[in-house]
């Protein structure tokens, strides 16, 4: 580079943040690239500035595992979140209920979906949770 080009070159500092990796993870998820989504969301969780950010990134990571049929991994993350941070992100109960429903462990799924509805009767997933609850109750009656 010539001296003139050196003088005009602008260096833009970039320090990756939790939000940067979280946004990349969500985009990868939307493109159904779960390998990248999991990688980015795990990185987002490690760079989180606070507990709420970490919990949210981990919950999204658990959803990625759920989408790829890796229920044990999803359940492990959500169990930890429920034990340690259930009050921060009650949606973890709903997502865990889905895991148990996929695995046909309906009694456990029902307990968790009821817990979510008790904590968040008007939450973001309350309609879906209510539908899941109804389906589980029908399945349990027919069983």
**29-85 confidence digits (pLDDT tens):** 999 999 999 999 999 999 999 988 999 999 999 999 999 999 999 999 999 999 987
From 107, 24, 109, 23, select the one nearest 66 (Cα to Cα). Answer: 109
pLDDT in tens, 80-129: 999 987 677 899 999 999 999 999 999 999 999 999 999 999 999 999 99
What pLDDT was estimated at residue 95? 96
Q: Report the candidate in 8, 14, 42 with the shortest Cα–Cα distance to residue 28.
A: 42
The enclosing H or E element of 36 equals helix 34-46
1-31: pLDDT as tens digits: 555 555 677 877 778 899 999 999 999 999 9
Q: Which of 104, 103, 48 has its CA nearest to residue 73? A: 103
pTM here is: 0.84
- Separation CA 40–CA 21 (nearest Å): 5
**Cα(31)–Cα(50) distance, rounded to whole angstroms?**
28
């Amino acid at each position: 580079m010539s001296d003139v080009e050196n003088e005009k070159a602008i260096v833009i500092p970039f320090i990756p943040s939790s939000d940067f990796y979280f946004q990349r993870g969500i985009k990868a998820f939307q493109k159904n690239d779960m390998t990248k989504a999991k990688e980015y969301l795990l990185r987002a969780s490690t760079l989180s500035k606070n507990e709420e950010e970490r919990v949210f990134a981990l919950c999204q990571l658990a959803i990625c595992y759920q989408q790829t049929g890796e229920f044990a991994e999803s359940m492990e993350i959500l169990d930890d979140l429920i034990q340690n941070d259930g009050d921060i992100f009650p949606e973890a109960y709903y997502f865990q209920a889905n895991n148990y429903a996929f695995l046909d462990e309906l009694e456990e799924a029902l307990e968790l979906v009821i817990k979510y509805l008790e904590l968040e009767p008007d939450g973001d997933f309350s309609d879906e949770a209510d539908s899941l609850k109804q389906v589980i109750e029908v399945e349990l009656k027919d069983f």
